[in-house]
Chain A
Amino acid sequence: MSDIVIGTGAEAVIYRTSWLGRKAVKKHRLEKGYRHKELDQRLRAYRTKKEVNLISAARNAGICTPLVYDVDLQEGTITMQFVDGTMLKDLLRTEPMEKKEELVRKMAQAIASMHRADLVHGDLTTSNMILKGTGIWFIDFSLGNGSEEVEDKGVDLHLLKEVWQSSHAEILPLFDLFLETYKAHYDDGVQVVERIAEIEARGRYT
């Protein structure tokens, strides 16, 4: 079966593929011709390994993440479970208000668990959150990090807020529900939420 490209970024290409009969996704961090061969190898291997470790750590913290089927550090590829569901980006536009509220609560609980485990996703957009069954699955940890810092967790939420303001402006009030639920599920959440305002104030664009 030949792999089909389903996404391209500056750093990697994503393919739909299959793994021992299961629907899968293959992420390939591309070789870059401008880099010294050794540097290229080193960077791709390091980032691949880091991403896989983050996915595992998130899973251990109770977050739904794709199962990692195979890793090739030499090639810079990760083969993982294809998450067959619907992006929150779409559901937050189409579903009735009650359902949206439920989704927001679940999102907040999951992110609270992540931060409680000192994991930062790094790219909390609603395109990276998929509803599969009754759970919200998180994908694309390529910008993630392990961190205890309130600052890093604040930046994580700040990005989500910006996504909310630009893509889900009609349900802006639900962001307050998100914050309340987040704080209820994470003791240090209050500090993180306070930090968001400070991060916002640093913005340079008028």
Chain B
Amino acid sequence: MLCLGIEGTAHTFGVGICDDDQILANVMDMYRPEEGGIHPREASNHHAAIAADMLVKALDKAGASMSDLDVVAFSQGPGLGPCLRTAATAARTISLSQNIPLVGVNHCIAHLEIGRLTTQAEDPIMLYVSGGNTQVIAYTMGRYRIFGETLDIGIGNMLDKFGRESGLPFPAGPVIEKMAVKSNRLLDLPYSVKGMDVSFSGILTAALQQVKEQPMEDLCNTLQETCFAMLVEVSERAMAHADKSELVLGGGVARNKRLQEMCGIMAEERGGASYMPPPDLCVDNGAMIAYTGLIMNKAGISIPVEDSAVNQRFRTDQVEVTWR
């Protein structure tokens, strides 16, 4: 069965096509602002402008035509309203014109499912870390439960904000990673784990206050060491509580090598293992939407266009996981 998936939750517009568990195409284009962060309307304008070209490109890559598609899926949420609506509109159009079922996919669940497909993990917990999202997710009792999450901003967002306020280029994550490697110092920044949740606004403020006094490499190293440790701690607790020994990383921040290393060490100390999908399936992408939409549809899920409104606050645990 051939499924086309459209991703459009934030700055990335992606189209993926998969045939059962084979990914045939995965194309994407990121909205890059001249300065500052993501303006939702500007980003959605970008998506609308390139959507048709992206669809054509993906179909070409897959060697398929629109009429070959059996199912179409889209990122229904969570994300930025205008961007979500652009992707949804494209998907609804395809569903109606081709008369094929439409599937609304939860973006966080898609990250997890593509992690399960492309790594050896069978029943992992997921540490999902991106600009907009930071969640520790595990499958128990029929749903993907959020064991822990950020109480304020996503870790990627925190790193970008730090970068923007201290003069680093956007996206700041990779720049911070490069600078962190040059230091082994640990400055005194607050560590904030509250129960199973984390919060980043405190450490962001504290780090910004020290930008004029401390070397940037030391600040970057401390930010990484502290924030990543917080995430790994919550992940470890989730693994202990849910009795799982595998961890899968997801989201753009998962491309950070130090975070990968820390997850690996923690998992191995517990007699388990940590996994990561290939980089272009870690970031927001259409292939994960296509794959997840397909497995959902095979379990009997689809939505009529009238019920396909996007949900900016779509919670991971709102979905009944009938396909596992």
Contacts and interface: CB of A to CB of B under 8 A. Distances in A.
Contacts of B266: 32-34
Contacts of B236: 10
Nearest to B261: A34
Interface in B245-270: 261-263, 265-266, 269
Interface residues of chain A: helix, strand, loop or mixed (majority): loop
Interface string A35-73: 110110001000000000000000000000000000000
B232 interface: yes
B195 interface: yes
Contacts of B229: 32, 34-36, 39
A34 B265 contact: yes
Contacts, number: 43
A12 B57 CA distance: 53
Nearest to A205: B317
Interface in A159-206: 204-205
B186 interface: yes
Given A39-B225, A204-B315, A34 B262 contact: yes
For chain B, the bracket of interface size reads 20 to 34
A36 B225 contact: yes
Interface in B264-291: 265-266, 269
Contact of A43 (B145, B184, B191, B317): B191
Nearest to A9: B240
A11 B237 CA distance: 8
B134 to A, nearest CB: 17
Contacts of A5: none
Interface string B292-324: 000000000000000000000001010000000
B232 A34 contact: yes
A165 to B, nearest CB: 16
A204 B317 contact: yes
Interface centre among A10, A33, A34, A43 (most CB of B within 10 A): A34
Interface string A117-161: 000000000000000000000000001000000000000000000
A32 B240 CA distance: 15
A32 B229 CA distance: 10
Interface string B193-230: 00100000000000000000000000000000110010
B232 to A, nearest CB: 5
B239 interface: yes
Contacts of A204: 315, 317
Nearest to A143: B195
B164 to A, nearest CB: 25
Contacts of A205: 143, 145, 317
Given A10-B237, A34-B262, A39 B317 contact: no
A43 B229 CA distance: 11
Contacts of B240: 9-10
Contacts of A9: 240
Nearest to A33: B265
A35 B191 CA distance: 12
A138 B143 CA distance: 34
Given A10-B236, A204-B317, A205-B317, A38 B186 contact: yes
Given A34-B265, A204-B315, A205-B317, A39 B239 contact: no
Contact of A36 (B186, B237, B269): B186
B309 to A, nearest CB: 20
B225 A35 contact: yes
Interface-central residue, A9, A36, A143, by most chain B CB under 10 Å = A36
Contacts of B145: 205
A9 B232 CA distance: 15
A34 B191 CA distance: 15
A33 B225 contact: no
Interface of A: 9-11, 32-36, 38-39, 43, 143, 204-205
Given A32-B233, A204-B317, 10 more contacts: A10-B240, A11-B237, A32-B232, A32-B269, A34-B229, A35-B225, A35-B229, A36-B186, A38-B186, A143-B195
7 contacts: A10-B241, A34-B261, A34-B266, A36-B184, A36-B225, A39-B186, A205-B145
What are the 4 tightest A-B residue pairs by CB atom distance, in nearest-first order? A10-B240, A34-B262, A34-B265, A36-B225
